[in-house]
Structure 1
Amino acid sequence: MKARRQRLILEIIRQQVIETQEELAEALRAAGFPVTQATVSRDIRELGLVKVPGEGNIFRYAAPGETPPLRRDERLKRLLRSSVQFMDFSENLVVVKTLPGEAQGVASAIDQASWPEVIGTVAGDDTILVIVKPKKLVTTVLQRLNELARG
């Protein structure tokens, strides 16, 4: 019972923004686990959960070592807005032109975003090649990059 509950806790915090122990207890109760605040507190301690920054100046529970996706997307958005001058594509490649010296940081942020359709990036000083697979998703990747760059 305890192992199942703790596996469910990890699943819940991956899928939802949980800010408080009470929110976690409510989610567990909704899933059929009648818990007390003391049980939730003990599970949090045993699982080593930590509070990490989330979107909108909130803090949420996360598993130890987990880099919240929101933080990665925020970094990528900030870098795209401040560094990118132009984007285009050909076949399965997206070309991203940046300010001089900015390409490697932007490419690293794209890699860390872990988009399943992006195989990887190659960066020079001011140009990035984003390799997309399958080819039919290249416009989707370009559109997502453009949306993040616009805000």
Structure 2
Amino acid sequence: MRKADRHLLIKQIVSNQTVRTQEELLNILESHGVSATQATISRDIRDLKIIKVPDENGVARFEIFQGDRFEGDGREEERRLIHMVEDVVVKVERVQFLTIIVTIPDNAQVLCALIDDIEVPEKVTTIAGFDTVIVISRTEEDAIKIEEYFKSHIIA
């Protein structure tokens, strides 16, 4: 199956079914005749900007990030970033020239990709794990600006 067709199928599955893990998504894809590796599915999830959000019972499930709903005016990427920060960031702190951003589980890589999509002069690079993004700056002053930016968009 072509990547575009697999992406379309994954969007349909995530939109119409409750999917909680990559393994569960892999099993559903296999039931549709699609054979893929965990690494491929992980890349697909990142490419499609699929995030985990808590359902009405507080249990995490996959959902397609809806940040694209803003009209493009040259600041679309930043608007998507702000929307995602509001939805998934739970804590921001700084250690010298590092800004540490904690997300709800399994959302750090998508957030990191959005940060990387935006030209931020205070950012040298980013690193993402399961629920943590680290933004590396050249100076402590640059890191303070990044910390303040993210803290200003967290919904308490």
- Give the TM bin, normalised by the shorter chain: 0.5 to 0.7
The correspondence of residues 6-25 of structure 1 with structure 2, limited to 5 A, is none
Note if 1:111 corresponds to 2:116: yes
- In the superposition, relative to structure 1, how do residues 58 and 104 fare at CA in structure 2: closer, same or farther (>3 Å)? closer
Give 1:119 shift: 0.7
Q: Which residue number in structure 2 is paired with residue 149 of structure 1?
A: 154
Note if 1:77 corresponds to 2:82: yes
The correspondence of residues 1-151 of structure 1 with structure 2, limited to 5 A, is 68=74, 70-150=75-155
Q: Give the length in aligned residue pairs.
A: 87
Cα distance in 2 for residues equivalent to 1:71 and 1:86 = 24
AA paired with 1:84?
V
Identity across the alignment (%): 22
TM-score, with length taken from structure 2: 0.51
Cα distance in 2 for residues equivalent to 1:80 and 1:144 = 10
- In the superposition, relative to structure 1, how do residues 71 and 123 fare at CA in structure 2: closer, same or farther (>3 Å)? same
**3-state DSSP of counterpart to 2:142:** helix
Which 5+ residue runs of structure 1 have no aligned equivalent?
A: 1-56, 61-67
C-alpha contact (below 8 Å) 2:90/2:154 kept by paired residues: no
Cα distance in 2 for residues equivalent to 1:81 and 1:98 = 10
Cα distance in 2 for residues equivalent to 1:101 and 1:131 = 21
Give 1:111 shift: 1.2
Runs of 4+ residues over 2 Å off in structure 1: 57-60
Q: Which residue number in structure 2 is paired with residue 21 of structure 1?
A: none
Larger radius of gyration: 1
After superposition, the CA RMSD in angstroms is 2.0
